[in-house]
Chains A and B, each alone.
Chain A
């Protein structure tokens, strides 16, 4: 298995633009997590899905952020409009039903100018 796949690996955009991050979880995993990591705040859980259904989105910072999981093999995290303070590394992770080990993807480094 290739592990969790994220794309793009790097994204540089201008303030106000829409950004879409993509994630393909490990086949057979039924839980998917989106995290954000910054130097100031460390790792933060944004949202997680179980069997494609959002379970907890209390970590989503504001309405500019939205996440979808249309099927078991794909999820997106969208920021619209983006702001410089959204600059961070965004990780996707998948697992079997928690508290099983989460496997993290390589992350997407987002820079909003």
Chain B
């Protein structure tokens, strides 16, 4: 069964601290993995996309890693800011019948306190 599991479900950190969010998946055949940030009351916004051959990708203070062998990904946030408070969603897509079918994780809710 194609599934994406994220941990932790929620996380509270102090401003300026680093944190790491986890994503494990069983989606097959793997096509790509995206991390989205969703602010409250808004639609998700893509942070990074990684394909099978990519191990690390950065977008500012956000760094995503991918281990295709163990089917794990992480999103590391450096020097957190109050504006990082949001839900972070891991999405893994598979190629099926010529179409890319996404499977969504439930997300990690991050709260950054001053």
User: Could you tell me which A residues sit within 8 Å of B by CB distance?
Assistant: 4, 42-45, 48, 50, 55-56, 91, 93, 98-99, 101-102, 104-107
Contacts and interface: CB of A to CB of B under 8 A. Distances in A.
Given A43-B104, A44-B104, A56-B99, A99 B32 contact: yes
B46 A42 contact: no
Given A56-B99, A106-B41, 8 more contacts: A42-B107, A43-B44, A43-B89, A43-B107, A45-B101, A50-B99, A104-B43, A107-B41
A80 to B, nearest CB: 25
A56 B42 CA distance: 25
Which of A4, A45, A93 has the most chain B CB within a 10 Å cutoff?
Answer: A45
A34 to B, nearest CB: 12
Nearest to A43: B104
Interface of B: 31-32, 34, 41-46, 49, 89, 93, 99-102, 104-107
Contacts, number: 45
A48 B99 CA distance: 10
B107 A99 contact: no
Contacts of A91: 43-44
B93 A98 contact: yes
A91 to B, nearest CB: 5
Contact of B43 (A44, A45, A93): A93
A45 B102 contact: yes
A105 B106 contact: no
Given A42-B107, A99-B32, A99-B49, A55 B99 contact: yes
B46 A102 contact: yes
Given A98-B93, A99-B31, A106 B43 contact: yes
Contacts of B104: 42-45
Nearest to B105: A42
